[in-house]
Amino acid sequence: MKYKETLFFVAKCLTINHEEKNLQFIAKQIKAGNVDWDSVVKVSTAHYVFPALYCNLKRTELLSYLPEDLVSYMKHITDLNRERNLQIIEQAKEINEILTSNGITPIFLKGTGFLLQSMYEDPAERMLGDIDFIVSKDEYQKTIKVLREINYSDVIEMNYHFPSFKHYQRLQRDGKIAAVEIHKQMIIEEYADEFNYETIIKKSISKNNISFLGYEDQVALTMIAYQINDSGEFLNTISLRNAYDVFLLSRETNTLQSIKEFNKLFDPLNNFLAICGEIFSSSISFKKSGKTKKFLDVFDKIMSNDTFRKSHSKKIKRKLFTRQRLNIISKAIYRNDYRIWLFKRLTDKTWYKEKMIQLGIKSDS
């Protein structure tokens, strides 16, 4: 199976409990022995949907047609992820209780929010890293103080941190499984006027004294996290983890309705929806236009041609890296926090050593 065929196969597997035509297609492929399971494992793992793949195949009783050693491995990884996620749920609930008792209302974001809402039939389905939540600007510094008072400390111990626009540096606590990101923004600065705490707070929802984004804003943030914050719009690719979340959320709200109020964000997010419709063969709602057709044409070329995909990715990542560095230098001219960070970075001997090792100039010894 080539990359595109494998990607689309995995994507359809994620929908088989809701899309009958996809279930029939996937069942036929599996029973006919037409699946390169090594490729499927590689792609689903890279896209962080390996446990979700297992859970969907299990619910449709298709696991009996897979190699026994593969099923055993999938079950093992899924069980480990379930155990981790159950611990994350308890950690998030504890954070919520502590913060609300201090008059702070955290709104849980992305994977953590989905787990707390029980969006998945099995909590093992979603792979995630940090516990993310946003608070108001007035509560931001107090939130940092409260978590530090209960022994949350910096994940990376250093005497300077990048002046992040979106969130405070990651915090951890001994005995707790996940790091924590306290957000003051959810998107890069260029688009923050369209999607921020003020735009989402009135539509937020609460269940069991825990707060989340409204469903439309959950759809938007799920796409923003990849398409904008992780530069998916420039790379012209897809994250199956984010796409699967959008697919599940599309059962709660109209996806096109979720982005209709945006201006600068509309086209990038509509492009993401267009790809979701393509890979899932699903009726996800988006606006068809010349822009989406062009985006899908490039996406298809990237997925179909391994050589082009690799060269395109390297080219775009180099451009983004250069632009990011120039942006930092530009901000350092008129912002003191960036000047301080840049000076400390450039005079950090440990950082220089790490970079020299990465570039192969110095050995790691």
Q: Give strand pairing partners of 131.
A: 180
d(CA 135, CA 125): 27
SS3 211: strand
List pLDDT tens digits, range 60-100.
999 999 999 999 999 999 999 999 999 999 999 999 999 99
> Is the model's pLDDT at 257 over the cut of 90?
yes
151: left (phi over 0), alpha (psi -120 to 50) or beta: left
Q: Please list, in sequence order, all residues whose beta carbon lies within 8 angstroms of the beta carbon of residue 89, skipping any fewer than 6 positions away.
A: 115, 116, 123
d(CA 267, CA 269): 6
Q: What is the pTM of this model?
A: 0.88
d(CA 197, CA 186): 8
List pLDDT tens digits, range 131-176.
999 999 999 999 999 999 999 998 877 666 666 668 888 999 999 9
> Is the model's pLDDT at 338 over the cut of 70?
no
Q: pLDDT band at 329, cuts 50/70/90?
A: confident
Q: pLDDT band at 355, cuts 50/70/90?
A: low
Mean pLDDT score of the chain: 90
